[in-house]
């Protein structure tokens, strides 16, 4: 792009995406810069969020990256939060840009390196009072392995399950914007970008779902979309389901590193991860939109060395 940055972030984002960002409904991935030195990025319109992956200190000289890192200065309604997954530990450089460290994910990159999370917010989002600090949970490996109720079944998710999973996700996360349409879910399952499991009750009704989401830019797999029907909570179903997914990760996908961004207001999910021996790694402040407000996310990582535990 030419040195003249008259359009700044909104204009640059439209160029990089190939569409007007104001018309997007779901997150869209794109690249900042020219190949082979481009940086992977994702714009999430529902959460007014820009995520940038793999940045190093030397990348800060890129004019396009500078525009993206200052997104909220001119377009806070479009993007009020930028989260950077940095590939080095240049703390002074990020602090000079007004970014704050919100955690670190071990073994996030394919070479085993740590991803350091740097974030900045603007506009009304920055005026929201802090909602507490992330308290790291007990890091001892607990290995609680509950059984499912008699007659219940846990199995891998198939593309044809997408419609039922979509209904469950929309029921559980009624005010939380996620791409839960059946088409997106079916595509992710069919292409192998998503590996999920579900739990069915004796009437073959879907009562729980969770999945691994694989990234082209990272070696760490994300545990996401963990949902249990309200009437079935408190029975150890999600703890069991996460345990089976851990087993899949170890036996099928080769002991990959993993992490999760669990909503801070979902105390049940925090307990599930702690019971399974996951470790707290940070806190993303006001990361997700929830109705008219914001909710933070707790960063967790699970060492795959403890996942090979038979049931």
Domains of the chain in sequence order: 8-126 (3.40.630), 153-306 (3.40.630.30)
Assigned token pair, 173: 């996360």
130 — phi, psi (to 5°)? -55, 140
Q: Which helix (H) or strand (E) holds 69?
A: helix 63-69
Assigned token pair, 119: 């974030």
What gap in Å lies between CA 107 and CA 259, rounded to an integer?
10
Assigned token pair, 201: 């009750």
Assigned token pair, 259: 């992490």
Task: Provide block-wise average pLDDT over 10 residues at a time, the chain (311 residues).
Answer: 56 93 90 86 94 94 94 92 95 95 94 95 81 47 71 95 92 71 83 94 96 90 94 93 93 86 90 92 92 90 63 40
Per-residue confidence (pLDDT) for residue 3, from 0 to 100: 38
Assigned token pair, 10: 């909104």
- Say if CB 49 and CB 83 are below 8 A apart: yes
Stated pTM of the model: 0.88
Per-residue confidence (pLDDT) for residue 233, from 0 to 100: 92
- Say if CB 224 and CB 197 are below 8 A apart: no
Assigned token pair, 86: 């940095």
Assigned token pair, 309: 């535990």
- For 51, the 3-state DSSP assignment is strand
What gap in Å lies between CA 176 and CA 225, rounded to an integer?
11
- For 258, the 3-state DSSP assignment is strand
CA angle 184, 190, 191 (to 5 degrees): 90
133 — phi, psi (to 5°)? -115, 145
């Amino acid at each position: 792009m030419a040195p003249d940055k008259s359009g700044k972030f909104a204009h640059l984002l439209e160029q990089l995406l190939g569409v007007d960002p104001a018309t997007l409904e779901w997150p869209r991935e794109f690249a900042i810069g020219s190949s082979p030195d481009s940086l992977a990025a994702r714009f999430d319109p529902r959460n007014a969020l820009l995520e940038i992956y793999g940045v190093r200190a030397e990348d800060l000289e890129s004019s396009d990256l500078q525009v993206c890192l200052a997104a909220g200065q001119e377009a806070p309604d479009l993007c009020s939060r930028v989260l950077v997954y940095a590939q080095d530990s240049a703390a002074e450089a990020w602090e000079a840009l007004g970014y704050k460290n919100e955690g670190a994910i071990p073994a996030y990159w394919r070479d085993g390196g740590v991803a350091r999370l740097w974030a900045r917010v603007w506009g009304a989002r920055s005026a929201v009072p802090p909602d507490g600090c992330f308290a790291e949970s007990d890091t001892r490996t607990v290995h609680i392995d509950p059984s499912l109720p008699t007659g219940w079944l846990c199995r891998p998710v198939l593309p044809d399950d997408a419609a039922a999973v979509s209904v469950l996700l929309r029921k559980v996360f009624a005010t939380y914007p996620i791409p839960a349409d059946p088409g997106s879910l079916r595509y992710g399952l069919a292409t192998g970008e998503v590996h999920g499991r579900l739990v069915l009750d004796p009437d073959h009704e879907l009562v729980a779902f969770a999945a691994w989401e694989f990234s082209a830019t990272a070696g760490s797999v994300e545990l996401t979309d963990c949902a249990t029907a309200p009437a079935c909570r408190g029975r150890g179903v999600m703890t069991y389901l996460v345990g089976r997914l851990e087993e899949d990760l170890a036996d099928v996908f080769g002991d990959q590193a993993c992490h999760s961004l669990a909503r801070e207001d979902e105390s049940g999910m925090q307990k599930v991860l702690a019971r399974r021996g996951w470790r707290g790694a940070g806190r993303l402040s006001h990361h997700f939109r929830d109705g008219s407000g914001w909710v933070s996310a707790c960063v967790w990582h699970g060492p795959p060395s403890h996942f090979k535990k038979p049931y």
